[in-house]
Each structure stands twice: as C-alpha cells, then as structure tokens.
Amino acid sequence: RLSERTAVFEPSIPAYDDNFNYDFMVALVLLGYWALLARRLYRLPHAPTAARLRRSSRRLAIAALVGALFVPARLVTSLVLYGYGWHFAADRLLIGVPLVALPTLATLLVTVPALHRLGRPSPDDAEEVAAPPASRAAAAPRVSFPARAVAVGGLVSFVMILFAPAPPLLAPALVSYGVVAPVLVVIWRRHADRVRDGVVRPLPRGAARARRVAVATAAVLVLVGGYAGWDWQTSKLPDDYRMTEQAMTYGTGPGPVDHSAHSHGAGLPDRPLTQFTGPAGKPDKRFTLVATDARLRLSSGATVDATAFNGQIPGPELRVRQGDLVEVTLVNRTTDTPTTVHWHGLDVPNAEDGVAGLTQDAVPPGGSHVYRWRAGQVGTYWYHSHQASSTQVRRGLFGPLVIDPAPPAPAGVREFVVAAHVFDTDKGDTSTLNAADTLRRESVPPGTPVRIRLINADNFRKYFTLAGTPFKVTAVDGGPVNAPTDLYRTKLMLGGGGRYDLEFTMPSAPVRLTDLAAVGAGLLLSPDGQGELAPLTDGPEFDATRYGSPAATPFGPDSDFDRSFDLVLDNRPGFYDGQPYYLWTINGHVSPHVPMLMVREGELVKVTISNRSFLEHPMHLHGHHVLVLSRNGHRATGSPLWLDTVTLLSGESYELAFRADNPGLWMDHCHNLKHAAMGMTMHLGYEGISTPFHAGRATGNTSD
C-alpha cells in the first residue's frame, strides 16, 4: 500500500546550497591561483640567470595549462546551477565565466607559446646572468598581461557571487565590463612600459615598494569605504514616505500602466484605496479584539512577556460562516504598542487589509478601529498584527480564523485548531502548539471523524507528523483538495503563514500530532484521553503539487497571460536603514526601493519566482490567491493548488498565476517577518489607485 502512495512525494534533488558552495570554491581558487600565477609571470624577467629563466618559463607554461582547467570547472559548476533554472546561473554564464574564459584563451594562444619559446634549452645554459634579450622577451606584455586579465576577471566574477546581480542583466553586464576594461588598460600600459632603453626596469624595493603597497592599500580602502559609506547613507529610510513610491514594473505586458498616481507628491487619482471598504449593513457576526500587554504562562510553566489579543495566546478563535458579514473592532489597550489586524489569506477589500502605512494608520494605544468584510471563502485562516509585525506577531498578536461552509457540514466532526508558534520565554525560544509546550491530551471516541486545522504562525518552515492512523490533507491554505488520498507515516512541511487541514477517522488506539521542532510536545488523541504513542520523527515528504486529482480551473499553464513578471529572491551583505545586515532582496532591491508589480483590473497575471538565497522564503501575496502552475520546472499534476503563501526553499522556483480581480495596493512579502522587516517586501498595484497613508518613523506606521 505504501508503494501506491509514493507518487505524492518529491524525489530528492541535490542540495542547492552544496552546489552553490562548489561554484564559490572554484571561483575563489581560480582567483587565488591566477593572481599568484600573474605575479610569478610578472617577476619572470628578473630571474637571476638565463638557466633559471628558462626553467621558470617551462614551469609557468605548465602552470598556465593547469590554471586553464579552472575555466571549464567554473563552467561546469555554473551549468549545474543552471539545472535549477536560468536565473540561478544567468549572471555566471553571461558575465562571470566570459570574464575569465576570454583572457584564459588569450593566455593559451599567446602566453603559453611565448613561454615555450623562452623555455627552450640553450647550449650556452649556465649560471650566467640572464641575457638582456631573454629578459626583454620575458617582460613583453604578451607574457604576463593575459594572466593578469584572468585575475582581474576572476576578482570581478568572485565579487559577483557575493553581490549577485538580478535580472535584467544588461546593466550589470555593462557595469562589469565597463569596470574591467579601464583597469586592463591601466595594467597594459604598466606592462608595456617595463622596458626602457632596452633595459627591464627593476622591481621596486625597500621604501619604493612600501609606498606602492601603501598607495594600493589606500586606494582599495577608499573604494570599499566609499561604497560602504554610500550604501550606509542611501539605506536610511525616510522619516515619512509612501510605501508605493517606487511605481515601476517588472516583466512584460500589453502596454504601459499609469504610474503617476503612485508618485510622491502627485495628486490623488479618481480611486483612493480608502473607497474599497467592506459592505454596509447589519453584521452577522461581531467580535472585539482587545490588544493588551500581558505576562502569560505556557503549559510547562515558562513565561512569556506577551502582547496579546483578549489576554490570551493565541488570540481567540474567530469562527464565522461563508457569506457572513463580519465586523471586528480592534481596541488597543497596550502601553506603547500601535497595532493593526491583518486577515491572513482572506481576500478582503483593500481598505480592510490592516497594513499600517498602506491601507490604514496604526491604531495607537487608547484607540480603536473597525474592520468589516464578507466571508466569501471557506477554510482555515488566521489574523495577526501588521504593524512592526516581526516583533508583534512573535510576542503573540495573532489568532486563528475559521470560515465554515454556508450549508452546515455534517454533524459529529471533532475539530482541533492548532497554531504552531515559537515564543521568547524566560527559558529561551520555545516551540508551542496553542501555547502548549508539553503534550496535550484529548479524548475522542473511536469512529469519530476528526479534523485538525494546522496553522504555522511562525517565521520558518515547520515539519509535522501524524502517527497512529492514515489521514488525508483535505485543504491547503483554506483551499479544498480535490480527491485526496490516504497518507501514512508522512512528514508534512508547512511554510510560515501556511495551513493544512488534516482529516481522519479516530481509531481505537492513540493518534499523535507532532511538531518536529519540539517532539516532546504535541497533541495526543485517544478514546480515554490516556495512553502513549511515540512521536513519528521521519518519513517521506508530502508534495502538495502532486497530491489529489486534477480538476478544472479558470486558467492554467497554457493560458494567454496579460502580464508576466520574474522575481529573484536573494541575499547579499549591505546596510538597511543605516545598520549592517545580510540583506534579503527581491530582484536586487530592498523595500521601499523594490518596484511594484503594476497591473490593470481584470488582467491575467503570471509570476515566476526563483529563490537563489540560503534560506526558505514563504512569499505571501495579500488580497489574492495564486494557482501553482509548476514547481522546479515540473507542472503541478495533482489537485489545483491555490495558495496565499508560497514557500520557496533554496534553489526552488515556482510559476504562479492569478486574476487581478481585487483592486487596490497590496503587500507581497516574505512571511519570515524578520526578512520582510529587512527589505524583502514589495507591492502589487492596480492602475489608478493610490493611498493617502504614509510610513516612516515620523508617521508611527511600520508595517513590517
């Protein structure tokens, strides 16, 4: 039976990080080898004797042939990365490899033959001083210059690994070649001027050499320091700015989209986003969420200095029915924590999205705000703060949200809503399920249908197992799975912000849900609330793109798309808001300098996302659900997979599609909220819509 289920699991693929490191090491060794070889070639004319010059020439010719092997090695490592997708190797294949391949070819065609001639044995070989003709020939630029060019190209190629350019690559290519060209001109002139009046100039020694080293060191420090200073200064965020100032567009489309509405200082267009509010009328469900400061205790006794809704972590479960008009009043009774509420996964009207500085101002202590939206979806969702969310969600400002179908589901289903989260406690970082960091026990009669609504309310991906029974994944991110099949002894990876619904029939023996980050905790179900079951800690990994059965969708991989965008997620060293960080970038930029994806209402949009960084990124698009078209170049073959949060591991790429049917200005960001706070945030903008709200220290709005 197990073999029949293997089709839902992704075969193992080579680790992207390992292959990246191989390429990194080859580039580093290439740089060091050719820098040393270039130095030896430059010093060749100063061999003390003719015999030594000839022997050195022969050895250096062999060394050049060996060094040339690093170029095909670098090409191979680049092609291995190309196996993950074009964006993983484009900069190497178009810029990095040519920068070393072309001068290496010149070395083989020009330098090696010249060394061969210099290394020919002579009947007069003795330990006499090298003859001027041999020294002059060894000082010719054709001997040492090509190797120096390889070293320069290797340096630029290596730096490009650390500061990888993002598409489009025309500008980075022009800059790279534009930097290398004048440097090589200067080096050529230096090599060409070595012989004067038939004599090779001596190498600088003593004070002259020290001055040259000092000047070179100072020049490098000035360049590096100047770049660092410029990066530090330009990274500082304005005290008052619009998140959507960078109104540009990536990708292709049928024509330009009007950006003028989003330019800072431009007049408001016909449609400010504040007009996209929830419907009027008497609400079917009313809730009040009161944000307070609290010191709360986990099940183990560990304490959390929390900011919580209604004095509990997670916040209260909000349960409504599809079609309900819902009204939620946020009351802020914290001491000094302005906050909001964002409805994660709900495609609410734009003004109800709860993003401070974009769709509203943060609610200050003592203030309140009313959200209204109609529950048009069904499934498992959650809500959380979107003001300084990397801090506030971590401290506890989140809770579950469940939308039941309008026709009531069959009675008798036992539900457990479980939110996984890591809290900062007096005992350190602590993984919890509904604030329980110990094993929770519940009694469930055998034969009872059970549904576990699993929410990852943390930044990083989590792995879960369900032991003791076959089960089905019946929903992903709230969307139903078509024709789910039984799974057994399966490891479930759930990215930050994502949700799974798990269903099974309660057996007569215990069943245990385990978060593999805290195997001692978990949820144990049994007929009498007792018993034991060891946690399942391993198994084949679930692949939602190949699970369930296909069904009709309104669009698909072969549709004609109105707009297409390419996004590359990456990391690089740099500054953010004046502080040094390892930055998390989108197409080489960090917020608020990441241009928006601009669309017109009604357009069909395709987005290709590639993750070149070293960590996973759960990318969350507000206000829309995307259909997964492919993963890692393989079309999705299972049930249609509609997601609001797409987790990309290192080396992964996804093709996604959505209909631009919810006008407004929407955040699209990594739901590792620390990454979002350090720049991995962009926006989706509809033509002709703007926001009156501002972000920045002077405004009190900090969405991330």
d(CA 120, CA 58): 8
Token output for 348: 């609410």
**Contact (Cβ atoms closer than 8 angstroms) between residue 338 and residue 700:** yes
DSSP annotation string for 241-282: B-TT------SB-SS----GGGSTTPPP-SEEGGG-----S-
Number of neighbouring beta carbons within 10 Å of residue 239: 11
DSSP-assigned letter for residue 699:
T
> Could you give the C-alpha distances from 337 to 8, 290, 359, 385, in angstroms and in order?
45, 12, 18, 11
Question: Does the structure show a pLDDT above 50 at 460?
Answer: yes
**Contact (Cβ atoms closer than 8 angstroms) between residue 443 and residue 476:** no
622 Cβ neighbours under 8 A, 6+ residues apart: 342, 353, 355, 666, 667, 668, 684
Report the greatest alpha carbon distance in the chain.
108
pTM tops 0.85: yes
- Tell me what pLDDT residue 193 has: 87
d(CA 449, CA 412): 7
**Contact (Cβ atoms closer than 8 angstroms) between residue 638 and residue 544:** yes
Residue among 239, 238, 255, 256 nearest 247 (CA): 256
Lowest mean pLDDT among 76-80, 234-238, 508-512, 647-651: 234-238
- Tell me what pLDDT residue 231 has: 87
Question: Does the structure show a pLDDT above 70 at 130?
Answer: no
Place of tokens 């049917």: 661
Pairing type for strands 342-344 and 665-670 reads unpaired
**Contact (Cβ atoms closer than 8 angstroms) between residue 536 and residue 467:** yes
- Tell me what pLDDT residue 3 has: 31
Position with higher pLDDT, 68 vs 232? 68
Lowest mean pLDDT among 260-264, 352-356, 481-485, 538-542: 260-264
Query: What angle in degrees, to the nearest 10, is found between the helix axes of 97-106 and 70-82?
Result: 160
- The single-letter code of the amino acid at 513 is L
Number of neighbouring beta carbons within 10 Å of residue 271: 17
- The single-letter code of the amino acid at 345 is G
d(CA 244, CA 685): 8
Question: Does the structure show a pLDDT above 50 at 528?
Answer: yes
For 512: left if phi > 0, alpha if psi spans -120 to 50, otherwise beta; the answer is beta
**Contact (Cβ atoms closer than 8 angstroms) between residue 667 and residue 622:** yes
- Tell me what pLDDT residue 4 has: 31
- Tell me what pLDDT residue 203 has: 78
| Dihedral sign from CA coordinates of 664, 665, 671, 674 | negative
Lowest mean pLDDT among 382-386, 437-441, 491-495, 519-523: 519-523
d(CA 290, CA 316): 10
d(CA 320, CA 404): 6
Lowest mean pLDDT among 225-239, 334-348, 590-604, 656-670: 225-239
Instruction: Identify the helix (H) or strand (E) that includes residue 43.
Output: helix 16-43
Instruction: Identify the helix (H) or strand (E) that includes residue 395.
Output: helix 389-395
Please confirm whether the linkage preceding 316 is cis (ω < 30° from 0): no
Position with higher pLDDT, 128 vs 183? 183
Residue 218, CA atoms < 13 Å, CB-side half-sphere: 6
| Dihedral sign from CA coordinates of 581, 584, 589, 595 | negative
- Tell me what pLDDT residue 356 has: 96
Phi first, then psi: give them for residue 690, nearest 5 degrees. -135, 175
d(CA 177, CA 400): 53
State mean pLDDT over 321-335: 97
d(CA 238, CA 670): 22
d(CA 652, CA 614): 11
Q: Collect contacts of 199-208 with beta carbons under 8 A, ≥24 apart.
A: 199/132, 200/45, 200/46, 200/132, 200/135, 200/136, 200/138, 200/139, 202/46, 203/43, 203/46
Q: What is the pLDDT of residues 533-578, one digit of tens each?
A: 999 998 999 999 999 999 999 999 999 999 999 999 999 999 999 9
Question: Does the structure show a pLDDT above 50 at 7?
Answer: no
- Tell me what pLDDT residue 167 has: 82
d(CA 346, CA 376): 8
- The single-letter code of the amino acid at 500 is Y
Q: What angle do CA 675, 159, 140 make, to 5 degrees?
A: 175
Question: Does the structure show a pLDDT above 80 at 699?
Answer: yes
d(CA 95, CA 372): 52
Question: Does the structure show a pLDDT above 70 at 483?
Answer: yes
Position with higher pLDDT, 3 vs 320? 320
Instruction: Identify the helix (H) or strand (E) that includes residue 134.
Output: helix 132-138
Question: Does the structure show a pLDDT above 50 at 12?
Answer: no
DSSP annotation string for 490-536: -EEEE-TT-EEEEEEE--SS-EEEEETT-TT-EEEEETTS----PPP
| Dihedral sign from CA coordinates of 682, 687, 693, 697 | positive
- Tell me what pLDDT residue 263 has: 42
**Contact (Cβ atoms closer than 8 angstroms) between residue 91 and residue 80:** no
Residue among 643, 559, 575, 562 nearest 609 (CA): 643
Instruction: Identify the helix (H) or strand (E) that includes residue 172.
Output: helix 170-192
Phi first, then psi: give them for residue 327, nearest 5 degrees. -125, 125
Q: What is the pLDDT of residues 369-421, one digit of tens each?
A: 999 999 999 999 999 999 999 999 999 999 999 999 998 777 789 999 999 99
What does the mean pLDDT of the chain come to?
91
State mean pLDDT over 610-631: 96
Using DSSP's 3-state secondary structure scheme, residue 214 falls into helix
* Res. 234 pLDDT band, cuts 50 70 90: confident
- Tell me what pLDDT residue 266 has: 44
Q: What is the pLDDT of residues 194-221, one digit of tens each?
A: 877 677 888 777 777 788 778 878 888 8
Convert 393-408 to b/e letters by CB count within 10 Å (16 or more is b): bbbbbbbbbbbbeeee
Q: For the chain, what is the radius of gyration of the CA atoms?
A: 31
**Contact (Cβ atoms closer than 8 angstroms) between residue 432 and residue 442:** no
Q: What is the pLDDT of residues 236-246, one digit of tens each?
A: 988 998 887 76
Phi first, then psi: give them for residue 693, nearest 5 degrees. -95, 150
